[in-house]
Structure formats: structure tokens, C-alpha cells
Structure 1
């Protein structure tokens, strides 16, 4: 059990001390909750952080059931088994892709303003969130990052459903996850305070923490 996201981020930072002050390492957060985790890691290790924004495609009439994920470059991963079982047609997928891609771009502009996106090629990427339930959005984030040819991807999360982590482990180079409880129902179950992180908090953290990292190489 973690007190809050700050404590969870500090716990991850202790495990990641080997990367302290490493100029080739970058933390990427899945917002909103992941931004708090990334901020704590960034402070403790003296390395910059930024965002990666996947958005889940929910099933018709059941938006919590993931049938796909859209990434910030417009790429899509579809759960073909769920799509077949639910008889989801191509028209629905395309409409959701367009809607969610616009939302991703809105969020990126809201959080990052007009900052150029950092170069990921040959970097060590620490991908983080405040926890993993199904892992489908994380899978989309990993695919996006992998397509940018990083040197290494480290998935670092405070808590995760073991079966989801098993699916994700082969997709990355290292996993850091202190809590892998067998009795997993929801991420918030493992936090005393799991109150929602607001957009305002995300913006404040990123603006404060990004000072001093404004001249990073950009992804052109």
C-alpha cells in the first residue's frame, strides 16, 4: 500500500538509482497520474521527463472495455479477439480513431504548449504510470516508443496486475514493479490517497520540472 503517488514515485526512484544524472535517459509519463510519478523520478535522478499519450478505444455501449488504443502519431493497435467477439465494424473503429486522435493532440498542446517533442532515438526510456490494470494503453505506448528506435525501454510502475505484466514484459528490456499482488481488482486499491490528478496539476508539474531541459534534441 502506498500513501499517495508521490510516495510511489519515490519508491521507484530508489530502484532506478543506476540511471541518476544519465544524460541518455528520459522518463515518459502516461497522464494524468503518471505525471506525478514521473515528476518524482525526474527530481530524484536529475533526468528530464515528458509525456506519451495513448487513448483507449472502448467497446460500443461499454467504453471501459478496451478493444484498441490510439497513439499520438495516429497509429492504432486493435484487440482483434475482442473486436470479433463484439462484432465491431470498421466504421466504428475509424470514427473512434479520429475522435481520440483529436483528443490526444488537444492534451499534448494543453500540457506541453508548443515545445518540440524530444528525440527518442538511442535513448533509454523509462515509461511510467501510477499502475497497470489491463495494460492495453501501456502496450500502445510501448509500440509508439519502440517505433522511435530507443536504445532501451524500462517499464517502471508502482503496482500492476500480474497477468497484465506478464504480457508486457517481453515487449520491454526491463520491468521495475515493486507490487505485483495476486488479488488485484483496481490500481486505486493499493493507494491510501488515489484522488484524481487534475490537468492543472499536470501542467504545473511539467512547467516547473522542465526548466533547465529546454534545449533537449527534438524529434523532427
Structure 2
């Protein structure tokens, strides 16, 4: 059973669930690229709040790249799923190799998406982390742990669809979770979208540019 037509449709539905934050100047949306950006853009447009990206890279198991053994994010945060590491007997050398490769891609995306613009300052604000869905939650966990170091007042995790396990795990760790759907069995995030085509770098950049234009005056940034 398909629940969402595409990420745009999912974003509009997620915006309805987050409508209480509409127009709040102390709310910042942080999208996880790439798939989280079109979802978060619709939320930002509907709620008239600021949008930024929070860049995180999944660490895939060598040879089984779709299986996450952890994730890294801006700020030097690394999260490992030791259950996967041990069950797949992944060596430290293999982990280091994947981390090094993904760090190069993380830095490339920061340069491409930000174009020199600093991150928005989340200190004392409500930060809403948005992705197109949660399966294992490893990527989102890296994001929220890195974000927590930046002293927001509240952290909210909001996604259109998630596994029940991932949604429950975040409910115990952040101030609020919004998981529109938690299908059982979950299968994977893409199973609940009619169109789950990969989001391109160009689409991310175009949406971030539009979001900046909608926002008007730039908010104070770190540094």
C-alpha cells in the first residue's frame, strides 16, 4: 500500500502535523540531504519558517552498502551500530576506510549546498530535524547527537514514515517525535512512496535557494 505520492506530497502532509509551529521565529527546520530536503522545503513553505540543511552520511557495510553500520555528521560526530559491526564481523580497518570515503562526500556536499553560507544559529531555538523516513535511524541519530552540541532549546524529529522501532527509540531521546506513519512490516522507506526517485544535488541546491528567497532577511549565523 502506497501512502505518499512523492516527497512533495509527504512534506505537505508533514506540515499539517507541524502546523502549531507556523510563523514561529524561534523554529528552524533542518533537512537531512538529499531526500529530506524536498520534504522539509514543503514544510518550510507551509509554515513560513527558516530552512537549513544538516549534512549526515550513512556508513554502509562494505558489499552491503544499503545496510547502515553507522553514520557521520558535520562537527566530527560518528555513530556506530555495534550490533551490525559485530554480526557482520567488520574490521576496524574496513570501518576507517568507509569513514574516510564518506567524510570526503560530506565535505563536498557542505561546500556545494552552503556555497560559503554559514549554518543558521540554533542556540536557544526549536530545531526540527526532517528526513523522508527512518529505517534503522542511524543517520538521524548522528544528526541529533551533533545538533545537541549546538544548544538548541528543543529538538524535534519529524518524518513522514518510520519503522516503529526507530520512532520509539527517538521518542525516548528527543523532545518530540512526529512519525506520520509506522507501517508493519516496514520493509523500507521507499516502500511507502509511489515515486521515490533519488533527489539530485541540483534539486537540493534549487530548493535551498528558493527557501532563502522565501525567508527574506537572513537570520544571524554562527561566528
Q: How does 1:76-87 map to 2 (within 5 A)?
A: 76-87=78-89
TM-score by length of 2: 0.93
2:23–2:47 contact (8 Å) kept in structure 1: yes
3-state SS of 2:197 partner? coil
1:215 is the counterpart of 2:189: no
Give ranges in structure 1 of 5+ residues lacking alignment: none
1:22 is the counterpart of 2:24: yes
Distance in 2, Cα, partners of 1:185 & 1:90 = 29
1:187 is the counterpart of 2:176: no
- Per-residue deviation at 1:214? 5.3
- Per-residue deviation at 1:154? 1.0
Higher strand share: 2
1:138 is the counterpart of 2:140: yes
Aligned to 1:111: 113
- Per-residue deviation at 1:85? 3.0
Backbone CA RMSD of aligned residues = 1.5
Distance in 2, Cα, partners of 1:202 & 1:55 = 15
Distance in 2, Cα, partners of 1:81 & 1:191 = 29
2:77–2:145 contact (8 Å) kept in structure 1: no
Query: After TM superposition, what 4+ stretches of structure 1 lie above 3 angstroms from structure 2?
Result: none
- Per-residue deviation at 1:156? 0.9
2:167–2:179 contact (8 Å) kept in structure 1: no
TM-score by length of 1: 0.94
Distance in 2, Cα, partners of 1:81 & 1:134 = 12
1:71–1:140 contact (8 Å) kept in structure 2: yes
